[in-house]
Chains A and B, each alone.
Chain A
Amino acid sequence: MAQTSRLFHIIRIAFAVIGALVVLFLFLNHSEQLDTPLMDYFTADFFAQTGAQNSVAAIYLNYRVFDTLFEALMLMVSVMEVINVSWANKHAEKYQFEKDDFNRKGNSEIVVRMVGIIYPFVLLIGLYIIVNGHVSPGGGFQGGAILATALITRYLVYPNFDLDLHALEIVEKILFLSIVMTPVLYVFMQIQPADTTISHQIYMVAMNSLIGLKVFSGLSIIFYRFVFYEGR
Chain B
Amino acid sequence: MFETFILLTLLVLACVSVFSDNLRRSIIFLGAFSLTIALAYLHYNAPDVALAEAAIGVGLSTVMYLVALKKVSVYDICYVNEDVEVFNDDQINEIMGSIVRPLELFMERTEEIEPQLAYTNRPLKTVARENRHDCVIHRKGNLTYLYGDTTDQVFQDIVANLNEVITDITDIRVVFRDEVTLDGADE
Contact = CB atoms under 8 A, between A and B. Distances in A.
Nearest to B113: A232
Nearest to B67: A227
Contacts of A1: 86, 88
Contacts of B56: 145
Interface in B100-156: 112
Contacts of B88: 1
Interface of chain B, helix or strand or loop or mixed? helix
Interface of A: 1, 54, 56, 129, 137-139, 141-142, 145-146, 148-149, 152-153, 155-156, 219, 223, 226-227, 231-232
B47 A137 contact: yes
Contact of A146 (B59, B64, B71, B112): B59
Contacts of A56: 48
Contacts of A142: 48, 51-52, 55
Contacts of B72: 231
A164 B180 CA distance: 53
Contacts of B11: none
Nearest to B51: A142
Nearest to B57: A145
B60 A138 contact: no
A149 B64 CA distance: 10
B60 A148 contact: yes
Contact of B55 (A149, A223, A227): A149
Interface of A, secondary structure class, is helix
Nearest to A143: B55
Given A1-B86, A142-B51, A226 B59 contact: no
Given A1-B88, A137-B47, A138-B48, A152 B55 contact: no
A156 B63 contact: yes
Contacts of A145: 52, 55-56, 59-60
A152 B63 contact: yes
Given A1-B88, A145-B52, A145-B56, 9 more contacts: A137-B48, A139-B48, A149-B55, A149-B63, A152-B60, A152-B63, A152-B64, A226-B67, A232-B71
B52 A232 contact: no
Nearest to B55: A145
B68 interface: yes
A223 B56 CA distance: 13
B89 to A, nearest CB: 11
Contacts of A146: 55, 59
Nearest to A126: B55
Interface in B58-97: 59-60, 63-64, 67-68, 71-73, 86, 88
Contacts of B48: 54, 56, 137-139, 142
A137 B64 contact: no
Contacts of A152: 59-60, 63-64
Contact of B59 (A137, A149, A232): A149
A137 B51 contact: yes
Contacts of B86: 1
Most chain B CB within 10 A, of A56, A137, A152, is at A137
B119 to A, nearest CB: 14
27 contacts: A1-B86, A56-B48, A129-B51, A137-B48, A137-B51, A138-B48, A139-B48, A142-B48, A142-B52, A145-B52, A145-B55, A145-B56, A145-B59, A146-B55, A148-B60, A149-B55, A149-B59, A149-B63, A153-B63, A156-B63, A219-B60, A226-B67, A231-B68, A231-B72, A232-B71, A232-B73, A232-B112
B51 to A, nearest CB: 4
A145 B63 CA distance: 13
Contacts of A54: 48
A223 B64 contact: yes
